[in-house]
A and B are shown apart, each in its own frame.
Chain A
């Protein structure tokens, strides 16, 4: 066997190009489906874990998927709002904790999430530096936002909105008071502030010179909220009617969850309650279907590749026919010739399989980051 292996190795190293080509083809044949499966499973697990950690979501009646994507994954700014009184409706029943969300605005292409400190407890968010917002106009940013925008504490981020609180076309600037630890969740890409700040941005509250009448020159609103002027900020109207985009609902027990879900079935109801895990399950079922199509496509490519590999091996054996006849004439058995050819294929397959495993391992380790870098 050692001699067969030696002869096989000599052949492979002498015909380097063909060997490398075969190894590359077989490596890809093994790697592609394995890595696809791994990436899809990993993405599914990652995606599902976020939904699983969010028991219920209340939002405006419409697409459940859109509601979940906007309120749980902060996919894009929401335009569908509900009244803040919906939070009180749940709280008054003492069936669950509620966390209001306001996800209408963006700042430097990142979602601004207006919420309450309860959100950070519910998500187990931790600060890497700074503190949580304590005053109107303050915000904390996710780890990716801080990296991408190279933001330091005390810097100010202008909110991108035309309908917001502006003075001389200058938007409100939020002060960064903290940076969250990386969690590999959509929180990393969001900017968190308190609900009132979002309402100020929405124009429902403002601050100006004391005693100035609204509409006068002295009533020109402030563009920055500072320690000196924060006390002069005030809201107009009934808070219960102020907008929020969703409520994250954390029921105290299963019974409370069932009771809550039952309250939003009425066709007259303008809001809906959804369980994110169910919504994501139905979405992932479609993803799995797409993956199956992709696997079929890859399987066809692999089949063609395998046929090509078979053809290359068959041609190689044909080209070596005279060599084999010579070896037979010298006294070599068919078994030894088969052993040399077998060693060749074994060496190629072992190298290919090793490379495929290493590539798959690398994909598992670095793939999500690479995909994130490529898609952002």
Chain B
């Protein structure tokens, strides 16, 4: 499902780089990419999603060679095949919960918004227990509710791969457990791969397959103040 081969990536100014000779995530596999802050977990996730393009090597996701696609091609691929959950939820405060869930359909010409998609978004919201909040703005929600909205937004397009960047970082343990449960149950139900980036022990313990990302770094691991994004 995701395959890195002889991949080299470096940020232009910071000097931080990753070298991944071989890394795979299989179909339907649930994987946790672990490692200390600043070791490149988010960077690796962005490479897998095609947000960053590798300097060398091949990144194949869902059978598509991302390194061969241009910026527009990677965007269309991403929104059609991947579900992304961000650490800070990244919801738009001026939109209602329903509009946040439907956002992928409004920002890409690769997806088409119709009544079926609207029904699907309501169904997804019902499945994660936020159907009563659809008309509210996100600023009225609790942290847990906001994260569930972010998950709904990631899965409403029925992605083949779910990529979640520290999805439980700002949540209490109960809410974190519920969020992980929602992600894992979606992946199991639809046979999707699930990749979660985390350094939280409770989260890590819920996954059988773990990959230590720090082995891919080629320079000293910098802290967040050093300007690294992962």
Contact = CB atoms under 8 A, between A and B. Distances in A.
Contacts of A170: none
A330 B104 contact: yes
B95 A10 contact: yes
Interface string A326-339: 11111111001000
B137 A14 contact: yes
A15 interface: yes
Interface string B74-113: 0110111000101010101111000100011111101001
Given A3-B113, A331-B78, A332-B75, A326 B94 contact: no
Contact of B110 (A7, A13, A14, A331): A331
Contacts of A322: 88, 90
A330 B103 contact: yes
B94 A15 contact: yes
Most buried by B among A326, A327, A330, A333: A330
A6 interface: yes
Q: A interface, how many residues as a size bin? A: 10 to 19
A15 B95 CA distance: 11
Contacts of B225: none
A6 B75 CA distance: 21
Contacts of B84: 329-330
B92 A330 contact: no
A11 interface: yes
A330 B49 CA distance: 9
A52 interface: no
A332 B92 CA distance: 14
A7 B104 CA distance: 12
B132 interface: no
Given A3-B113, A327-B107, A333 B72 contact: yes
A331 B75 contact: yes
B127 to A, nearest CB: 21
A331 B94 contact: no
A323 interface: yes
Contacts of B75: 331-333
Nearest to B82: A331
Nearest to B154: A330
B134 interface: no
Contacts of A332: 75, 79, 107-108
A329 B106 contact: no
A262 B31 CA distance: 107
Interface residues of B, number: 27
Nearest to B80: A331
Contacts of B46: 329
Contacts, number: 59
Nearest to B103: A330
Contacts of A10: 94-95, 99
Contact of A336 (B88, B90, B99, B107): B107
Nearest to A331: B79
B51 interface: yes
Given A6-B106, A14-B137, A336-B107, A329 B94 contact: no
Contacts of B113: 3
B79 A330 contact: yes
A167 B76 CA distance: 101
A332 B108 CA distance: 6
A336 B88 CA distance: 23
A11 B94 contact: yes
A14 B99 CA distance: 13
Interface string B44-63: 00100101000000000000
A13 B72 CA distance: 31
Contacts of B108: 330-333, 336
Best-surrounded residue of B79, B88, B108, B110 (most CB of chain A within 10 A): B108
Interface in A311-353: 322-323, 326-333, 336
A330 B107 contact: yes
Contacts of A329: 46, 49, 51, 78, 84, 86, 90
A331 B107 contact: yes
Nearest to B75: A331
Contacts of B90: 322-323, 326, 329
Nearest to B51: A329
Nearest to B94: A14
Contacts of B76: 331
Nearest to B78: A331
Nearest to A11: B94
A11 to B, nearest CB: 5
A47 B220 CA distance: 83
Interface string B18-41: 000000000000000000000000
> B51, B86, B94: which has the most chain A beta carbons within 10 Å?
B94
A323 B94 CA distance: 11
Nearest to B77: A331
Nearest to B153: A330
A3 B94 contact: no
Interface of A: 3, 6-7, 10-11, 13-15, 322-323, 326-333, 336
Given A11-B94, A330-B84, A330-B103, 5 more contacts: A14-B137, A15-B94, A322-B90, A330-B104, A332-B75
19 contacts: A3-B107, A6-B106, A10-B94, A10-B99, A13-B94, A14-B93, A15-B94, A323-B90, A326-B86, A327-B103, A327-B107, A329-B84, A329-B90, A330-B84, A330-B107, A331-B75, A331-B76, A331-B79, A333-B108
Identify the 7 closest CB pairs spanning chains A and B, nearest first: A331-B79, A14-B94, A326-B90, A332-B107, A3-B106, A331-B78, A331-B75
